[in-house]
């Protein structure tokens, strides 16, 4: 197949992605008009989001008999946390409000989740009973369910199928995990973990699509279900 076709397809994917995520020229400040001086941070942020989500979700389905998630702490702090906050900072510089807000928010989620796991913070030990801790943790997850539902709204009028699917699965994941904390039902926790795994693979797909689209002559183009009227 002629390389010009690949170039045209890749250009179309990147143009559509930029329009959907809100970093088109009309929304950028004057200093960032035209081609951004910053490389696209979306793949880095999404790869770390996906990896952290996949790992914690494997723990939530009790893969290999694992019931204690503390091994996620390093990944959550530096992968899901630090890298996503950096990606969000770069998205602010690029004028991408949606990407900046979501990356920064989920980076904060992973860092705050790490704080719960680290014994030195005293978060878990502050509760007098395990039931009180699980109720408090369930409310924490409900907050992130609500935040994620709000993030879905901007993706709907812009018709970004992959991003809508990612955030929808993530919202269900948060909701099921919250219910499992309130009810103590392991089956619901495992169902939440299953949705988390789906979320991770959708994020891996979008990250791979954006990474390939950044190449001037990608050998394959992965569509994200972006369309306009």
Host domain of residue 153: 13-24+40-213
Angstrom distance (rounded) from CA 161 to CA 164: 5
d(CA 58, CA 146): 23
In a domain, 120, yes or no: yes
In whole angstroms, what is the distance from residue 86 CA to residue 43 CA? 12
Domain count, the chain: 1
Note the pLDDT tens digit of each residue in 46-84.
Answer: 999 999 999 999 999 999 988 888 899 999 999 999 999
Residue showing tokens 């490389």: 39
Would residue 6 count as lying in a domain? no
Asked if 119 and 71 touch (Cβ cutoff 8 Å), the reply is no
Structural domain contains residue 180 = yes
Task: Report the alpha-carbon distance of residue 122 to residue 6 in Å, rounded.
Answer: 54
List pLDDT tens digits, range 134-186: 999 999 999 999 999 999 998 887 778 899 999 999 999 999 999 999 999 99
- The answer to the question of residue 31 being in a domain is no
In-domain check, residue 46: yes
CB 188 within 8 A of CB 180: yes
pTM of the predicted model over 0.85 = no
Give CA–CA dist 112/132, Å, rounded.
Answer: 19
């Amino acid at each position: 197949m002629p390389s010009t076709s690949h170039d045209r397809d890749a250009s179309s994917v990147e143009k559509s992605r930029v329009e959907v995520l809100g970093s088109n020229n009309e929304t950028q400040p004057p200093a960032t008009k035209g081609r951004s001086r910053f490389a696209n941070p979306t793949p880095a942020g999404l790869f770390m989001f996906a990896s952290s989500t996949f790992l914690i979700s494997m723990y939530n389905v009790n893969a290999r008999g694992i019931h204690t998630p503390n091994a996620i702490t390093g990944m959550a702090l530096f992968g899901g946390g630090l890298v996503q906050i950096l990606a969000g900072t770069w998205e602010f510089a690029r004028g991408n409000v949606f990407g900046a807000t979501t990356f920064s928010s989920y980076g904060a989620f992973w860092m705050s989740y790490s704080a719960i796991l680290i014994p030195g913070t005293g978060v878990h030990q502050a509760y007098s009973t395990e039931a009180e801790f699980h109720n408090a943790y369930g409310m924490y997850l409900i907050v992130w369910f609500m935040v994620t539902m709000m993030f879905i709204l901007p993706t709907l009028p812009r018709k970004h199928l992959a991003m809508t699917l990612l955030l929808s699965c993530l919202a269900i994941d948060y909701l099921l995990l919250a219910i499992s904390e309130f009810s103590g039902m392991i089956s619901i926790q495992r169902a939440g973990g299953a949705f988390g795994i789906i979320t991770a693979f959708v994020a891996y797909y979008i990250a791979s699509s954006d990474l390939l689209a950044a190449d001037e002559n990608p050998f394959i183009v992965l569509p994200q279900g972006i369309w306009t009227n």
